[in-house]
Amino acid sequence: MAARSVDFMTAQVTPGSPPGRPLTGPLVGVQASFDELGTPLRDVTFCVVDLETTGGSPESSEITEIGAVKVRSGEVLGEFQTLVNPGASIPPFIAVLTGITDAMVASSPTVDQAVPAFLQFAEGCVLVAHNAPFDVGFLRAAATAHGRPWPSFEVIDTARLARRVLTRDDTPDCKLATLARVFRSSTTPKHRALADARATVDVLHGLFERLGPLGVQTLEELSTFSSRVTPAQRRKRHLADRLPHVPGVYLFTDDRGRVLYVGKSKDLRTRVRTYFTASETRSRMGEMVGLAADVTGLECATPLEAEVRELRLIATHKPRYNRRSRFPERATWLKVTVEPFPRLSLVRDVKADAATYLGPFGSRRVAEQAVNALHEAFPIRQCTSRLARSPRGGSACVLAEMGRCVAPCVGAVDVEAYATHVTAVRAAIATDPQPVIDAVIRRIRAFTADARFEEAIVHRDRMAAFVRAAARSQRMSALARCPEVVAARRTPEDGWEAHVIRYGRLAAAGVVPAGHPARAGVDTIVAGAETVEAPPPPKPAATAEETERILAWLEQPGVRLVELAGEWSCPVDGAQAHTAWLDTAYAARDGVVPCEDRRRLRPVHQPAR
């Protein structure tokens, strides 16, 4: 067990700084500036755009007109309008609908001239359109077709926004013409680009008037607005104001201080605000926010530290609204017992008893599948009674009669001969699962030859459960054997993020800023690391999920090992080498559609004979 079970040290290394600083309490509240709260809508420049085209798909149609209006704080800053020569005849029904004819566009700019001019007009703006996927899709396709990079515009769809804000009592539908009447637009839409863009401006401002009382004041809140977030939730958005824009972990608590939910984010304030203003639409999260009275933020030096701290806090507090990682102590291990005639047993924990363990398994059902796979390959006993070194005679069980047990219970095999089978079991768990794979595949082929496909699937799942558990256990136990691993990776700011891992547990995390000596900074982080005692093998000194997160970080490109105490290696013929084809097989199975789902087919009328 570790000397400290919840907290570890995190460091931001600067000249004269102490080795580390514990993060055990809430962050100190500060007065937030308007910039930290988001971009106020009054400061945003919107470019409202509308297109006329020859059809409904950019793959088979062309743009015939572009119209746009640039607005900020309710004031029109400029307008853009141009007809576009599509390079082909305009279909008659489109000409009737829009009033745009071939003669009108004959001398107009081509799309490779018009689109760059529009992009220059819209530069630095937030794009707005009614049914934005249509208009933006055409513009993006035209830019791409002519070798123009598409800017990373923020896009607001007034049709989608209207469906979230307005009810059936407000409007029968969300068509532009209907909304223009609802909001008393000064311009009537008439399937011409500039007129429709002007009408969309009035619709946008009308929607702003509806959203203001709901607490939507910033671009971020507008972009992620959802009508499923209640006014009561929005009124609590001030709870995020004390949180900084840094990576970390946040804890929602109720009025009695009980932790309701734990989460992590690369930006604490931005993530927490979404629970009150916008994109969080899960019903249980709405219920949780309704009970929340406070939010506490814990700043973390690195994203990996945030992941690990989240897992530890969930395991400690077991919040009712977290669905995963709450009960790591309920994991199941497969144990090869230590006795004259060992057997396979499912246990809750790993002891320092020199036994061989496989796991942990997330569920007992999967662990039982792995046990069955081992019994398929090795004829060790399956009874649960303890046997003396010289068992008395008697009658053997049915498994012995089937050749699936060497029957030590009746003295059919001595301790030494039985030990050869147990040694093979331990080798399959620790180094090479091939004997198990071969044995199960033989059974699968026999079943498929007899068209007993359901039984073949059962054995396939048993093999997969064992192979995946062995691969996971071999990877984790390799790291858990190392007293210390120090690794570092470049940050986007050209500094270094460093982590100290001891026996598979994150003992320290910190950042060495750009321009400071990297090695000296890493040494400072190591000096403040948590003391971790060696656990009984193969168990790491942390939960399996934490060790897997650490392994995922270590395996990322660009991670460099700074120091390594012990041996970190996995067997060449280990189970990891067999997981790829298993994943491929399961992916192929999931992609198969056994029969056509006819429930979505429209009924066909058959006239009476």
Contact 196, 190 (CB under 8 A): yes
DSSP three-state, residue 6? coil
- How many Å apart are CA 304 and CA 549, to the nearest integer? 8
Q: What is the mean pLDDT of the chain?
A: 85
The secondary structure of residue 90, as a DSSP letter, is P
Residue 255: CB atoms within 10 A of its CB come to 9
Fold of 41-214: Nucleotidyltransferase; domain 5 (3.30.420)
In this structure, of 192-196, 281-285, 358-362, 395-399, the range with the lowest mean pLDDT score is 281-285
**Closest CA relative to residue 309, chosen from 1, 24, 12:** 24
- How many Å apart are CA 239 and CA 294, to the nearest integer? 6
Burial of 74 (0-12, 13-18, 19+ CB in 10 A): exposed
In this structure, of 222-226, 435-439, 486-490, the range with the lowest mean pLDDT score is 222-226
Residue 138 is predicted with a pLDDT of: 95
- How many Å apart are CA 255 and CA 538, to the nearest integer? 42
Average pLDDT over residues 366-394: 85
DSSP E strands: which ranges in 45-102? 45-53, 63-72, 75-83
Residue 192: CB atoms within 10 A of its CB come to 17
The secondary structure of residue 381, as a DSSP letter, is -
Give the type of residue at 188.
T
Question: Measured on CA atoms in the order 159, 164, 165, 169, is the torsion positive or negative?
Answer: positive
Is it true that the peptide bond before 538 is cis, omega within 30 degrees of 0?
A: yes
Question: Which residue in 130, 191, 317, 605 is the catalytic one?
Answer: 191
pLDDT in tens, 527-557: 999 999 999 989 999 999 999 999 999 999 9
Per-residue pLDDT band for 230 (boundaries 50, 70, 90) equals low
- How many Å apart are CA 51 and CA 47, to the nearest integer? 13
> Is 130 marked active-site?
no
- How many Å apart are CA 284 and CA 293, to the nearest integer? 16
Per-residue pLDDT band for 391 (boundaries 50, 70, 90) equals low
Domain ranges in the chain?
21-34+230-327, 41-214, 330-466
283-291 and 268-277 helices cross at what angle (nearest 10)? 100
Q: Would you say residue 501 has pLDDT above 90?
A: yes
Average pLDDT over residues 118-130: 95
Give the CATH number of domain 21-34+230-327; options: 2.40.50.100, 3.40.1440.10, 3.30.540.10, 3.50.50.60: 3.40.1440.10
Q: Is residue 570 within a helix (H) or strand (E), and if so which, with residue range? A: none
Contact 73, 46 (CB under 8 A): no
Residue 20 is predicted with a pLDDT of: 36
Sheet holding 45-53, edge to edge: 75-83, 63-72, 45-53, 126-129, 155-157
Residue 592 is predicted with a pLDDT of: 54
Per-residue pLDDT band for 282 (boundaries 50, 70, 90) equals low
Burial of 435 (0-12, 13-18, 19+ CB in 10 A): middle
The radius of gyration of the chain from alpha carbons, rounded to an integer in Å, stands at: 33
| Most confident range, picked from 29-33, 207-211, 521-525 | 521-525
Question: Measured on CA atoms in the order 26, 27, 29, 35, is the torsion positive or negative?
Answer: negative
